[in-house]
C-alpha cells in the first residue's frame, strides 16, 4: 500500500531493478513492463483519466528505459511533470520527443549505472525547499585586529583592516544552526568590493550535536568567494555550523553581505529541481532565483514575481501550476526578504534575457506573455513590462515608489518595514529625501519608456495603502494620458497595505482566469 505522503517512482523496463531497495522510505517503487498501455491502464493506476494526466501524481518520477511504449506517445509524454523524467540514452527517439525532453528538462541515464539514478532520486526529490540567512545582528568582530567597521543597516557591512601576513579572524556569526545528517546543503556568501592587499577566506566549522567537538572544517578560499561559487556539503551526523571570516595581506577593505544556507539538490539546482540563479557581480554577488515549468506547452507564458519573503525559496508554484500553462517563477532572496528585483544594468538585463529565452524555447511571442505579482512582486512585473511589452500585467497591491516607502517608515508606518531603509542604502548608498526621490525616479523613468498599446493591465489596490499611497493613481494617470486605448481593469479595497490580502488575492486569480479564458481561449475550470 502506497502512503499518501510517498512519492511514486514508476520504472518502465524489461525487468524490475534491484537498486530500488536503495530508495528512501519517502518513495514507493513500482515496476511496469515496457509494453504497458497507459490508455488501457491495466493495473488501474489512473495515471491518465480520459487521456488527461492525473494531478494526484504531480510529484511522481518516471524512469523510461529504451523500447518503453510510452516513448512513442507524444500526447502522454508531454503531460508528464517537468524535471521528473529519466530516460535511457536512446538514439531512436524522434526529433519531436527529443525537443519535448529538452523543454521538460528530462534526465538521460545509462542503464548500466541505475544505481546512480536511484541515488540521485534520493538527493534530488526527498527534501522540501528550505533556506535562510545568517543575521548581521549576530556578527561578532575580533577586537585584536585593527578594524574600522561601518554597518549599512542590515544591507551590508564595510570593513577596513590593518592586516598581517597571516590570516586573522575578522568576524564570526554568533549563530549555531543545526545541519541535519545526510542532507545536502549549499552555503553561499556575499563578499565583494575587496580592495588593497586583502585576501579573504571563510571557514565553516561543524560541531557535533550536543557537544563542543569540531568534527569537520571546510575552507572557502579567496578566488571561490570573489567568483561567487556556492559550496556544497553533506555530513554523516547532525552538526551545528559556525561561520567565520578571515583576512590577511597588510591594509585592505571589503564589504560583507548576506550569508546564505540552503538545502541543495543533487544536480545543484537552486532550492527545487530546475531552480536557477542570476548573480549580480556588481552588487555583492546578490542573487535573483528563477524556476521554469513548460506546463502544457501552450500560450501564454505566465511570469510570477514573488512577494517579500524572509524564508528563501520560491513562492506560488502550486498556484501557477494549477493554471496549466507554462510558467516562470522569479524570487529575490537579497536583504531581509527581497530587493524588489533591482540591481546593476547587466543584472536587470539578465532577468529580461531569462524571460525572453523561455519565450523562445516555447516558440512564443511577447504577445503570449503575462507578467504578474503581489506586493513586492508588482514592482518586478511593472518594472520589466517596459522591456517586454507583454500581453497582460496582473498585479495586486502595487508598489512603485520605493523611496517613498522608506520615508513612510518614520511617520505613516513606524517600524512596519525597516528593510525599506536598507533598500535605500543598497541601491542609492544613503538615506535621505534626495535618495528617496532618486529611487522613486528609477522606477518611473523605466516604466515611462515602455510601449503599452497592446498590454492589458489588471490592478487591485488598497485605498489607504500605508506603503505606497500614490502607486495606483500615478500608474492610472500615466496609462490613460499616454495610452488612452490601453485596457486598465482595476479595483480598490478599503484598508492599508496588509489589511485585506485575501480579497486582493481572490481578485488577482479572477483576472488571471478571465485573461486565460477570454484572451488565450483556455478551458480553465479551477485555479487554486
Q: How confident is residue 2, by pLDDT bands cut at 50, 70 and 90?
A: low
Q: Which residues 6+ apart lie within 8 Å of 360 measured at CB?
A: none
Q: How confident is residue 254, by pLDDT bands cut at 50, 70 and 90?
A: very high
Q: Are residues 482 and 409 in the same domain?
A: yes
Q: Are residues 136 and 116 in the same domain?
A: no
- Supply the pLDDT for residue 176: 78
Q: Which residues 6+ apart lie within 8 Å of 130 measured at CB?
A: 262, 263, 311, 312, 313
Q: How many CA atoms lie within 13 A of 60 on its CB side?
A: 24
- Supply the pLDDT for residue 172: 97
- Supply the pLDDT for residue 352: 98
- Among the three residues 76, 99, 125, which one is the final residue of a domain in this structure? 125
Cell of 291: 524556476
pLDDT digits 0-9 by tens, 469-525 = 999 999 999 999 999 999 999 999 999 999 999 999 999 999 999 999 999 999 887
- Among the three residues 263, 285, 310, which one is the final residue of a domain in this structure? 263
- Quick check: 30 pLDDT over 70? yes
Q: How confident is residue 126, by pLDDT bands cut at 50, 70 and 90?
A: confident
For residues 176-197, give the mean pLDDT: 92
Examine residue 34 and state whether it is found in any structural domain, yes or no: yes
Examine residue 527 and state whether it is found in any structural domain, yes or no: no
CATH code (residue 506): 3.40.50.1820
What residues make up the domain containing 492?
276-518
Q: Are residues 358 and 459 in the same domain?
A: yes
- Among the three residues 83, 105, 125, which one is the final residue of a domain in this structure? 125
Examine residue 525 and state whether it is found in any structural domain, yes or no: no
- Supply the pLDDT for residue 526: 66
- For residues 378 and 380, give the distance between their C-alpha atoms in angstroms, rounded to a whole number: 5
- For residues 286 and 319, give the distance between their C-alpha atoms in angstroms, rounded to a whole number: 27
Examine residue 445 and state whether it is found in any structural domain, yes or no: yes
Q: Are residues 115 and 213 in the same domain?
A: no
Examine residue 2 and state whether it is found in any structural domain, yes or no: no
Q: Are residues 362 and 496 in the same domain?
A: yes
CATH code (residue 57): 3.40.50
Closest CA to 466 of 510, 417, 433, 425: 417
CATH code (residue 224): 2.60.120.260
pLDDT digits 0-9 by tens, 76-90 = 999 999 999 999 987
- Check if the beta carbon of residue 526 is closer than 8 Å to that of residue 510: no
- Supply the pLDDT for residue 1: 55
Examine residue 161 and state whether it is found in any structural domain, yes or no: yes
pLDDT digits 0-9 by tens, 34-54 = 999 988 877 778 899 888 899
For residues 326-352, give the mean pLDDT: 97
Q: What percent of the chain has pLDDT over 90?
A: 87
- Domain total in the chain: 3
Q: Are residues 297 and 379 in the same domain?
A: yes
Q: What percent of the chain has pLDDT over 70?
A: 99
Q: Are residues 482 and 460 in the same domain?
A: yes
pLDDT digits 0-9 by tens, 260-287 = 999 999 999 999 999 999 999 999 999 9
Tell me the backbone φ, ψ of residue 415, rounded to 5 degrees: 60, 15
Average pLDDT over all residues of the chain: 94
- Supply the pLDDT for residue 470: 97
Q: Are residues 151 and 119 in the same domain?
A: no
Cell of 96: 519531436
Examine residue 528 and state whether it is found in any structural domain, yes or no: no
Q: Are residues 298 and 446 in the same domain?
A: yes
Tell me the backbone φ, ψ of residue 57, rounded to 5 degrees: -100, 30
- Supply the pLDDT for residue 312: 94
Q: How confident is residue 528, by pLDDT bands cut at 50, 70 and 90?
A: low
Q: Are residues 311 and 174 in the same domain?
A: no
pTM of the model: 0.95
Q: Are residues 233 and 282 in the same domain?
A: no
Q: Are residues 374 and 454 in the same domain?
A: yes
Examine residue 415 and state whether it is found in any structural domain, yes or no: yes
- Supply the pLDDT for residue 483: 98
- Supply the pLDDT for residue 97: 95
Amino acid at each position: 500500500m502506497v502512503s499518501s505522503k510517498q512519492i511514486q517512482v514508476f520504472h518502465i523496463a524489461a525487468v524490475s531493478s534491484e537498486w530500488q531497495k536503495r530508495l528512501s522510505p519517502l518513495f514507493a517503487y513500482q515496476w511496469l513492463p515496457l509494453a504497458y498501455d497507459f490508455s488501457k491502464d491495466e493495473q488501474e493506476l489512473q495515471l491518465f483519466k480520459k487521456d488527461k494526466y492525473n494531478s494526484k501524481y504531480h510529484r511522481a518520477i518516471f524512469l523510461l528505459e529504451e523500447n518503453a511504449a510510452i516513448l512513442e506517445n507524444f500526447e502522454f509524454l508531454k503531460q508528464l511533470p517537468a524535471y521528473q523524467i529519466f530516460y535511457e540514452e536512446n538514439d531512436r527517439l524522434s526529433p519531436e520527443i527529443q525537443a519535448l525532453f529538452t523543454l521538460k528538462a528530462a534526465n538521460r541515464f545509462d542503464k548500466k549505472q541505475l544505481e546512480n539514478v536511484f541515488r540521485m532520486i534520493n538527493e534530488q526529490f526527498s527534501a522540501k525547499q528550505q533556506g535562510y540567512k545568517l543575521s548581521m545582528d549576530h556578527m561578532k568582530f575580533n577586537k585584536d585586529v585593527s578594524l574600522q567597521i561601518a554597518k549599512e543597516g542590515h544591507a551590508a557591512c564595510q570593513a577596513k583592516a590593518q592586516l598581517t601576513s597571516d590570516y586573522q579572524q575578522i568576524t564570526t556569526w554568533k549563530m549555531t544552526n543545526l545541519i541535519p545528517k545526510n542532507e545536502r546543503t549549499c552555503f553561499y556568501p556575499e563578499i565583494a568590493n575587496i580592495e588593497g592587499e586583502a585576501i579573504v577566506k571563510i571557514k565553516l566549522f561543524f560541531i557535533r550535536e550536543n557537544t563542543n567537538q569540531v568534527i569537520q572544517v571546510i575552507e572557502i578560499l579567496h578566488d571561490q568567494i570573489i567568483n561567487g561559487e556556492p559550496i556544497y556539503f553533506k555530513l554523516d551526523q547532525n552538526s551545528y555550523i559556525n561561520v567565520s571570516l578571515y583576512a590577511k595581506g597588510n591594509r585592505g577593505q571589503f564589504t560583507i553581505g548576506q550569508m546564505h544556507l540552503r538545502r541543495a539538490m543533487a544536480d545543484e539546482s537552486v532550492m527545487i529541481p530546475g531552480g536557477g540563479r542570476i548573480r549580480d557581480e556588481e552588487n555583492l554577488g546578490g542573487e535573483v532565483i528563477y524556476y521554469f515549468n513548460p506546463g502544457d506547452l501552450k500560450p501564454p507564458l505566465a511570469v510570477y514575481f514573488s512577494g517579500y519573503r524572509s524564508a528563501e525559496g520560491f513562492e506560488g508554484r502550486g498556484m501557477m501550476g494549477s493554471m496549466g500553462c507554462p510558467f516562470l517563477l522569479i524570487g529575490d532572496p537579497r536583504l531581509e526578504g527581497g530587493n524588489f528585483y533591482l540591481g546593476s544594468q547587466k543584472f536587470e538585463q539578465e532577468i529580461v534575457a531569462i524571460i525572453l529565452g523561455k519565450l523562445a524555447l516555447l516558440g512564443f511571442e511577447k504577445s503570449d506573455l503575462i507578467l504578474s505579482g503581489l506586493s513586492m512582486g508588482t514592482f518586478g512585473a511593472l518594472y520589466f513590462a517596459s522591456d517586454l511589452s507583454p500581453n497582460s500585467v496582473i498585479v495586486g497591491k502595487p508598489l512603485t515608489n520605493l523611496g517613498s516607502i522608506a520615508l513612510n517608515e518614520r511617520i505613516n508606518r513606524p517600524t512596519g518595514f525597516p528593510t525599506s531603509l536598507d533598500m535605500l542604502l543598497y541601491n542609492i548608498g544613503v538615506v535621505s529625501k534626495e535618495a528617496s526621490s532618486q529611487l522613486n525616479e528609477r522606477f518611473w523613468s523605466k516604466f515611462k519608456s515602455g510601449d503599452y498599446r497592446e498590454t492589458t493591465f489588471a490592478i487591485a489596490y488598497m485605498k489607504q495603502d500605508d506603503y505606497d499611497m500614490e502607486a495606483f493613481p500615478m500608474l492610472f494617470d500615466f496609462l490613460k494620458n499616454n495610452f488612452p486605448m490601453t485596457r486598465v481593469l482595476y479595483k480598490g479595497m478599503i484598508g492599508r497595505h496588509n489589511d485585506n490580502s485575501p480579497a486582493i488575492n481572490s481578485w488577482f486569480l479572477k483576472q488571471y482566469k478571465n485573461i486565460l479564458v477570454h484572451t488565450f481561449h483556455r478551458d480553465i475550470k479551477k485555479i487554486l
